[in-house]
Amino acid sequence: MLWLGANTWLFLKTFLLYSTGQQYHYLYKMLGLGLCISRASASVLNLNCSFGAAAHVSSRETRRLLDKSKTFHVACGVSICIFSVVHVSAHLANVVNFSVSYSEDFPALNLARYRGEDPKLIILTTIPGVTGVLLVLILFLMFTSSSYCVRLSNYEIFWYTHNLFIVFYVILMVHMVGGALKYQTNLEGHPPGCLRANQSSTEQQGEELEAGEDEERRCGEEAHFQPHYPQTWLWVSGPLCLYCAERFYRYIRSSDPVTIVTVIRHPCDVIELRMLKKHFKARPGQCPTENKETFGVHLRVVGDWTERFTQLLLPEPRIDLEILPMVQQRRYPKLYVDGPFGSPSEEVFNYDVSVCVAGGIGVTPFACDGWTGFRLQRLYFVWVCRELKSFYWFAELLCALHHKENRPDYFNLKLYVSQTDNLQEKYRPLTSRLLVGRPRWNLLFDEIGKTNKHKRVGVFCCGPKGISKTLHRLCNSARSSGTTFEFNKESFS
């Protein structure tokens, strides 16, 4: 809502400037509302394109602001699409008016070369027209490939077309070079509405005026016009350079391949990689770490990319090699890893009380062994899975944490499962915390609120949209206990 208000304010401000500004008097008479709408929408597009590029940049210091970077980026993208339609429609009207309302008195104002010129010819023979067509085509490709169905069926299409935004920004900076719209520069020597040398007051107003008054209202010189200084590059060049610098830094950081230590196949189509990387330092909440040297990544095998990657890591054994009396050393593919990046889960330790809610594979941001030595005084951990086997992914870690921090006043563990079967004997300590069915979130939040009255509780969610929406709604609802719940969410494309 705040971003919508900012866009609306900028649109109205620019609209009023072009509809009432004296320097746009003659251009407004020629183009009418098309001038105001096109320039107002252009201002909003500049703002959204600027922040849309900035939302791509990752930063530890600004991670609280960028926790909503995906949502904010989508909001900027939707705004760009909406106001692009408005901008294009207004300029189509402007092109028609340039042709129909060709000005014989002020030739410098005209974009058309003669009265009645074909509007399509005007578009295809001017820099703003050609670049505008290219921008519309690129934006259309980016918008259609960003739909959920395309991303789900073929993510590569989304990825490659979305990277056209760099070409989009370059063309956008050239878009204003043609100077289609001009403003008057000599308002003192030629006040708008003054009488030119070949014009009388009766022609302008339809009534007789005295000769002396007629002379006072006569123009001192001809009107001079010049195109606007291109300003789009001021909006987008900074974020674009920042993005390119960050991409270059990430390229350098990920240029050395990692050493794959182990690959483990977990139940429910999950692969765990344990790796070594030079100068790698991860903080709790970024990725699972067994010690300061190795780090882990858990992959859910869903889709063609993860399936192919799994085949490279764990190839099917060849029958002809199994009969040979020798040990074949496993050879892993060369792998490059970029990261770690800032994560909302890092903020878990900046609250006195935190609630971590994970759905299925969404438990990975919370899977770390460095939960002590921080401000955190009480932790509620809720993990919801469909199958009991899913808990085996981090069962060792949970059991170790249970034995190490077996204090209800500090660590409160709740495991929910939809389908049940026998739990392995070595994980028996978890059965006392295992619940069948879905969590009753209202009761859980009421319990946490009563236990932590008048406190600020951080709620961290990584899971399906259904759980996320429910938690977000509960965090925003007022509670009689006076407890404040602050919602934080991990985002995945």
**What is the rounded CA–CA span in Å between residue 220 and residue 192?**
11
CB 272 within 8 A of CB 295: no
Residues 6+ positions from 111 with CB-CB distance below 8 Å: 94, 95, 98, 122, 126, 180
* Average pLDDT rounded to a whole number, residues 14-27: 92
Give one DSSP letter per residue of 71-133, joined into a string. Answer: HHHHHHHHHHHHHHHHHHHHHHHHHHHHHHT--SS-GGG-SSSSTT--HHHHHHTSHHHHHHH
Give pLDDT, residue 422: 57
pTM (2 decimals)? 0.76
Give pLDDT, residue 35: 93
Question: Which residue in 317, 338, 335 sits closest to 327, CA to CA?
Answer: 317
* pLDDT of 366 above 90: no
H or E element that contains 451:
helix 441-451
* pLDDT of 53 above 80: no
Q: Please, which pLDDT band fits residue 208 given cuts at 50, 70 and 90? A: very low
* Average pLDDT rounded to a whole number, residues 38-62: 78
pLDDT tens digits for 398-437?
776 666 555 667 788 888 887 655 555 555 555 666 788 8
**What is the rounded CA–CA span in Å between residue 379 and residue 404?**
14
